[in-house]
């Protein structure tokens, strides 16, 4: 198995402070927790780890502050085989995410972006393609637009996960070739209440659109049409944090290795199904050998 064309993830890193409880609190309510832990996370971080564990040739570019959380995150990356370029911004603190997780794996997340918004992230350039750039919305619109324009000019394929939705800027779609997003995000972007119509509308502007639907699997759209669907794994979910990022990282590596969108989506769906059975984000992402073992049993 070849690593495929290069993948550059320019994105966020967070120290994830997770709290586990039977159910999520309602507004104004206090709920006693069962346990808590700190994990390495951030959408960019998770996607870079996923793409690497999927077998991709990954370069991860990110920014941290001069603090203990930054040391924790860069230390985690030392155990991964990807290449990384950490930028130190002494004027900002490393990003933190505070995550509440219930016993079914559902979560509520609040993020303090800190160094993820560092203007230093604009400084990256790209060799002429082919290659894949992976972006999310946790590093600020200005950073994303700057990086996406450079990648577009170099002939790279840009993949975007438009989360958190509150930071979405439609101008970015002009430089995006592939979208991986969940059903809610698709509906929000398209302005339609039906995910099927939403996927069709978005694929008028973006070459390939993967809409993840949790236990209902993944729908793939191209040229205003539904071109395929992949069923989700039947598993008991413990913590869904990072599942969408796991899917994205595996899909990008699959595409970089020459797989079709359907084949890449199948890889991503299996990887995400494995990830939700373990607490945490990056630490729950499976190795490619685990995914291939399950995939071989489906053929």
Please identify every residue annotated as catalytic. Answer: 245
| Six-digit token string for 230 | 């992949």
Residue 167: count of CB within 10 angstroms of its CB: 16
Residue-wise burial string across 179-210, b where 16 or more C-beta atoms lie within 10 A, e elsewhere: bbbbbebbbbbbebeebeebbbbbbeebebbb
**DSSP secondary-structure letter at 251?**
H
**Per-position DSSP letters for 161-191, written without gaps between them:** ---SGGG--GGGGGG-SEEEEEHHHHHHHHT
CA-closest candidate to residue 257, choices 226, 225, 288, 290: 288
Residue 240: count of CB within 10 angstroms of its CB: 18
**Strand order across the 35-41 sheet:** 35-41, 14-20, 96-101, 107-112
CA-closest candidate to residue 11, choices 80, 59, 76, 72: 59
Cβ distance 127 to 53 under 8 Å?
no
Inter-CA distances, 221 with 135, 137, 246, 253, 256, Å: 20, 22, 20, 19, 19
């Amino acid at each position: 198995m070849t690593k495929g064309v290069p993948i550059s993830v320019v994105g966020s890193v967070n120290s994830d402070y997770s709290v586990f409880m039977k159910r999520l609190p309602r507004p104004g309510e206090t709920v006693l927790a069962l346990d808590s832990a700190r994990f390495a996370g951030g959408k960019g971080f998770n996607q870079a780890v996923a793409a690497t564990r999927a077998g991709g040739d990954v370069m991860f570019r990110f920014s941290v502050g001069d603090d203990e959380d930054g040391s924790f995150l860069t230390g985690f990356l030392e155990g991964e085989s990807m290449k990384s370029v950490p930028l130190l911004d002494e004027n900002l603190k490393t990003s933190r995410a505070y995550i509440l997780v219930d016993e079914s794996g559902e979560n509520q997340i609040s993020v303090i972006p800190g160094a993820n918004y560092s203007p230093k992230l604009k400084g990256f350039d790209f060799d002429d393609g082919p290659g894949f750039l992976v972006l999310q919305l946790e590093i600020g619109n200005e950073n994303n637009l700057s990086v996406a324009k450079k990648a577009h000019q170099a002939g790279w394929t840009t993949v975007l996960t438009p989360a958190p939705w509150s930071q979405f800027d439609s101008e970015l779609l002009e430089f995006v070739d592939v979208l991986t997003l969940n059903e809610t995000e698709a509906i929000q972007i398209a302005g339609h209440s039906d995910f099927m119509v939403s996927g069709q509308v978005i694929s008028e502007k973006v070459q390939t659109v993967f809409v993840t639907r949790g236990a209902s699997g993944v729908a793939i759209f191209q040229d205003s049409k539904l071109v395929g669907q992949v069923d989700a794994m039947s598993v008991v979910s413990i913590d869904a944090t990072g599942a969408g990022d796991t899917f994205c990282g595996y899909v990008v590596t699959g595409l970089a290795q020459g797989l079709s969108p359907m084949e890449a989506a199948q890889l991503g769906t299996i990887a995400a199904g494995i990830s939700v059975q373990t607490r945490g984000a990056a630490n729950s992402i499976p190795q490619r050998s685990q995914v291939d073992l399950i995939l071989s049993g489906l053929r």
